Structure 1
């Protein structure tokens, strides 16, 4: 099939909507309701797990050998570690991110009684008071605190507001959508991936695309703390593609344009055959792409395997600058990923043996092992 048309206005609108809903890991109910309602508008059957992961199913010609496309709704954030004597709040982070990026952030504090606005400030925030010490204080979560925008001048007054240890702190995304296609915001990891999934689903519904097997679009809620897709795959799913961010940084091969296809992350290589199928689909359909390997990175694919799922896994990413900070991406990458996702969903089943949990060696895959052919146009080494 030709590369599908993606409604980029819809993709952008969904990303804006998702970014507007606070969803640090553990505080995701509101965004689960939103995505469930959007799936209903698209006419997609879906179910929600006890804790809130969403399993949407685009029906194919058969159930056995189903595919999964996974992105995560949860984001970084923080929780209240301690109410301090000055009425401010000590934090511990949700997920792995630097307090350097937390300094100066506007936040929403969610208590049992309701929410409050506030700011994350370094302990020595005033240059007029601390002079050069504002530049020499250490970078650590113990060096920042939340100033609540309410009457909270000591421990007692803060407790009187209904603030407790363990309350959630959501970080404002502060998104900007620029006319040149760049998007700058916190939490693009992985709300951009979720917007890609929704845009891919809309393209499939609009074009009435037929798929050989069911395709499960899964939205997880605990990826940032490591568990992600560990317990959401149904038994008949045999392959899984995660959509997440790929870091554009020195030493990496990711790009903010096109699709970046991950070959490996910190837990090891992705499935050889599934990864190369995605590369082939991108190449044959003119989708710009590149490959990358990530040293300090794991995704929903890793948690699925660690949870005991015997599935082929792959990871396709949008290049992101300053991941887990104030992030930047480009619409070109999101559109490229949405196209690749639809092409994968509609592609032929190539490893029919995968429908069996255990089977004989007949039909098992093979990897190249012969010497590579020598091409005549390869230059000879210089004479010594």
Structure 2
């Protein structure tokens, strides 16, 4: 396949631009529905709001399902303080230090949005001295400062901001000339872009598939139950397309597709992993096998829910996961090529 970088970035850029912390994904799902409609690709929406696209293959009883998730990390307003600042609670697991000083948007129940900045409660060394630097970065020591003239809880409430409103953190999406993509939420919108690209490719070229292939766009992965329900009934192989995690003492790479042998939920299916590695070797797709001790996926969730499926986990290498992340086009291309090649085997 000839990888169309611009088409891939079309999907990735648009997905990243839509705030979608877990529990607040309706906007990004509507965008995906619009893209699928434009492609003329039928889809179904599960009761929980996930999107399922299916392409019939010769074997309809032994189906392969690929998943990617578009729900992300984020936050929720926990308390409106007496001085007009907002306390927040994280959605998903991220380091508080990674969001300090970041711009954000508060999405209110009425549909109005307000901008703000995430700061520690002692953001200035000129005021707090060493207390500012020594302050532990934990949720109770962090707050959102609104870009509004507010001085009290009543002032904030008059804007329509309330406890339970979602907070979307600025992504700072950047593509460099050298092929790096830097952004929040490459986990897992990079993989979702790969699946949308694959869907378009299968539709455009009317690929012949030996097995029925499903694409499951998940909307609750970050909180652990994305693929516990709603995956196609005849799924026999469930392949989560999620990030690999390059870093200290890891084998993963930003320039290859990463194949996970084991994560916190245990080993993935050995035979399925072997098939994926064989494809990488035969098709000269750069790959790395790795182990992630503090990781779980939608494949893990499917197994916990009792699905009798073989599972695998693959994806682009994403550096600084759950922070300000980075990957490279080579890793995105390798992941996309592996998915498409496996669909056709």
**TM-score of the aligned structures, taking structure 2 as reference length:** 0.98
* 3-state DSSP of counterpart to 1:263: strand
- Flag as ranges the 4+ runs of structure 1 deviating above 3 A: none
Deviation at 1:253, TM superposition (A): 0.4
Number of equivalenced pairs: 344
**Contact 1:173/1:187 (8 A) holds in 2:** yes
Residue of structure 2 aligned with 1:189, choices 187, 190, 213: 187
Q: Within 5 Å, which residues of 2 pair with 1:93-108?
A: 93-108=90-105
2:52 match: 55
- In terms of Rg, which structure is larger? 1
Q: Within 5 Å, which residues of 2 pair with 1:170-189?
A: 170-189=168-187
**Contact 2:19/2:168 (8 A) holds in 1:** yes
2:160 match: 162
* 3-state DSSP of counterpart to 1:320: coil
Q: Within 5 Å, which residues of 2 pair with 1:331-370?
A: 331-347=329-345
Could you list the per-position Cα deviations for residues 160-203 of structure 1 after superposition, in whole angstroms to 9, with x for gaps in the alignment?
A: 11111111001111111001110011011000000011112222
2:232 match: 234
1:376 match: none
Distance (whole Å) between structure 2 residues aligned to residue 170 and residue 222 of structure 1: 16
Distance (whole Å) between structure 2 residues aligned to residue 141 and residue 117 of structure 1: 19
Could you list the per-position Cα deviations for residues 51-83 of structure 1 after superposition, in whole angstroms to 9, with x for gaps in the alignment?
A: 310001122224211110100010000011111
**Contact 1:89/1:145 (8 A) holds in 2:** yes
2:30 matched to 1:33?
Answer: yes
Residue of structure 2 aligned with 1:64, choices 61, 66, 69: 61
2:15 matched to 1:18?
Answer: yes
2:88 match: 91
Deviation at 1:92, TM superposition (A): 0.7
**TM-score of the aligned structures, taking structure 1 as reference length:** 0.88
Distance (whole Å) between structure 2 residues aligned to residue 343 and residue 43 of structure 1: 22
Deviation at 1:290, TM superposition (A): 1.2
2:113 matched to 1:115?
Answer: yes
Distance (whole Å) between structure 2 residues aligned to residue 273 and residue 229 of structure 1: 22
Q: CA RMSD in A?
A: 1.0
Distance (whole Å) between structure 2 residues aligned to residue 50 and residue 150 of structure 1: 38
Residue of structure 2 aligned with 1:248, choices 213, 226, 246: 246
